[in-house]
Structure 1
Amino acid sequence: MPMVIGVAAGVVLAAIIVLICLFKLMWRVAEPNEALVISGSKHKTEGLEEGMGFRIVTGRGTLVMPGVQAVRKMSLDLNETELLVDCVTHQGIPLKVRGVVIFKVGDDFVSIANAARRFLDQQKLMSERVHNVFAGHLRSIVGGLTVEDMIRDREKLTGQTRAACGTEMEKLGLIVDSLQIHEIEDPTGYMKNLAMPHAAAVQRDARIAQAQANLQATEAEQAAFARMSEATRDSEILQAGYQAERDKAAASSRQAGPLADAAARQEVVVQETRVAELEAQRREQQLQADVRKPADAAAYERRTSAEAERDARISAAEAKAKETELAAAAEASRVKSAAAAEAEATKARGAASASATRATGEAEAAATQARGLAEAESAKAKGLAEAEAMKARAEALAQNQEAVVAQQLAENWPEIVRAGAEAFGNVEHMVVLNGADGMADMFAKALTMGGTGLGLARQLLASMNSENAANPASAQLNGAVTPPPRSEKIPVRDDK
């Protein structure tokens, strides 16, 4: 019995294991990014026509009969294809359009079924098919547009291409997630030439704007420089005004010292004058005290003694008090008398000093006057003496003119000899036949024949007479005759 139970349990366990293995073998689960296409099933799939011969499972598990049904997977991932299409615009201009298309299999069963029928075993060729579809429609759309339309409204090109490919993509079971036109290449340079007028206009506007900015900047700089110059001028004017005030204050301060010294000296003189007056008063009082007051004091003393004796007889006590009072009064009177005497003496000394100063000034004035008178007398005597000498000389010249001329010739003989020697100044070569005697004769002839000596004498005499007539005093004081101008050079004959 236990053996039977064990065998039955083993059979049951084996059956369970076999069932589990069969279940795992038959159970298929679709991933979120894939769809299971099960063929060989007659089950109707929602949204599909009957009798298609396959069913589609997405996002869940299903049982598949091995050997009876075939299971294949359809990817629902995104796919991408690059577009590089040669197009010709409505204007006949060739262009190259670069873009990208992002697409995938639709999520509905119809799209999956359409894609499964076309690409189930050829999913790698899906991108090429999509590229061909978009390339054809893109050429057709670009052929109806101009370059300007494509540049101004690129979104229009994208929208039209996407709308034109929508029906065909739906038949293929594909949906377009994104279509982007990246670049439009222009091998002919049409777009560049199209942009040149605008670029030139922009460049022109930029240059104009730059020129206007430079003009405004220059005007602002000049205005700023003008304001700076004006500010500098105002500052210099203010500084000059401040400097003038400082100079004025400095001058006032420099003058304050001498003015203060003068005021101080004036005050000292005033105080000294007052002191001198007080000193004179004190000396005057001192003299009164020394001369007059002693006699009055002696009389007063005798009278006081008599009164004291009389009062002593009346009352000793009152006499003592009276004596004390009188002694104090006597002391005060004595001090006052001494001060008066000193003031009198000071006044007397001041008067004496003033008298001495006045006498000294008068003596100096008299001496100065005496010196002036003496100098005047001396000058007068000298002038008279010179006049007498000039008069005597004139009389001598009138009486004995030849002697005077001879004296003048003797005094000016060196000048006469020099004038005679100048006659030979232009002679380069001279031959003397008879030696020293001939030279002496030639020199004598130079002095006499040409009239050099006599002419010089006449000129000396005429000069002396003219000077005496014009300024006799000056001629006499100088004591000499102005030398005459040199005579012309005497030509010397060369006797070889």
Structure 2
Amino acid sequence: MAFAFLISVGGGIWAFITLLRKLYFICQPSEVLIFAGLRHRTAAGATVGYRTVRGGSSVRIPVLEEVMRLDLSNMIIDLRVENAYSKGGIPLNVSGVANIKISGDEPGIHNAIERLIGKSQDQIRHIAKETLEGNLRGVMASLTPEQLNEDKITFARTLLEEAEDDLQKLGLVLDTLQIQNISDDVRYLDSIGRKQLVELKRDSRIAEAEATSQSAVKQAENSRITELRRLDKELAIATANAEKRIKDALTRRNAVVAEVEAKIGAELARAQAELPVQEERIKQVMQQLEADVIAPAESLCQTMMAEAKGEAATIVEQGRSQAEGLSDLVESLKRSGDDAKRLFLLQKLEPLLTMLSETVQPVTVEEVTLIGERDGQSNLSLATLLRQLQDSTGIRLLQQPDASAAADSPVQGD
């Protein structure tokens, strides 16, 4: 009896454990358990006919609930789009890799339960791939080939933003998206690449030139700073030397001033001592000058004054006697009448004619003709004329034997 009881108890325990193992479900970290059958309220307040368990365990209510699993592990999708027209009408080929998974948070988990429950990972991967390729074509149509090729990160980010809403509706989450290659059959990107290569070389040369110029500028700036520092140092040294010389000069100034004052005082004292001697010497020189120069000069002056007075008296007396003689002559001329005046003029004319005859060369008179003589008076008039001419001019005419011969012969004068 006891053995049968133990067997029955053991069998009951084993049956309970077996039943518990069938009703007890453990959820792995990479999956979600869905207990469908009873109505439950979600965190958002919506009422659904299931409950979810993630990363834990739960017991299924027999008969009332059914358990389903939803895998949350990562799925890798290879994206490949060919002849997708970009902005500008250039067909491009794009390949990339995307990592997606089923969302484990609300509200994405509810969308996944409604749309993906019961589907395999291959089916889910195919749905996600078609969705991403459609989004990829849409994004490529809005970007130029240059933008797609030059900034793949921006391209991937734009694709993530574009596909997020569509994947969220499917209950999927796009973890990562990498654009691996972008190409075209018309070699448009190759020409862009060559252009970019040229531009890159140009930019590198420009950068090298700028770097060289900046290096030269920096070197010049360093040289300028070095030169300024050297000049500042030399200026500081010169300033220090100048201040030192100024201090030395100020120190020696008092000694030099005292020395100069002593010399000036000595000279002044010597000059003051020599002053009486010089005054006596001046007096001596003045006395000597008075004896040697002034006295003889005064004596000579007195003598010359006396001589001048004597000469003046003689001249005065001569002038007075001449004036008296002229006065007497004038009185006698007045008393003599008109003949006295003619006589005076003849007396004055004789020396004048003598002076004139001395200036004239000897003249030979060949012939003298008398015109207008009266008959019977020519001989007497001619003799009188010759005598008067001889008396007045000193010219003597040669006499001829007869009057006719005298009239025809030439006249000669001494």
- TM bucket (normalised to shorter chain) is 0.3 to 0.5
**TM-score of the two chains, using structure 2 as the length reference:** 0.45
Higher helix share: 1
**TM-score of the two chains, using structure 1 as the length reference:** 0.38
Higher strand share: 2
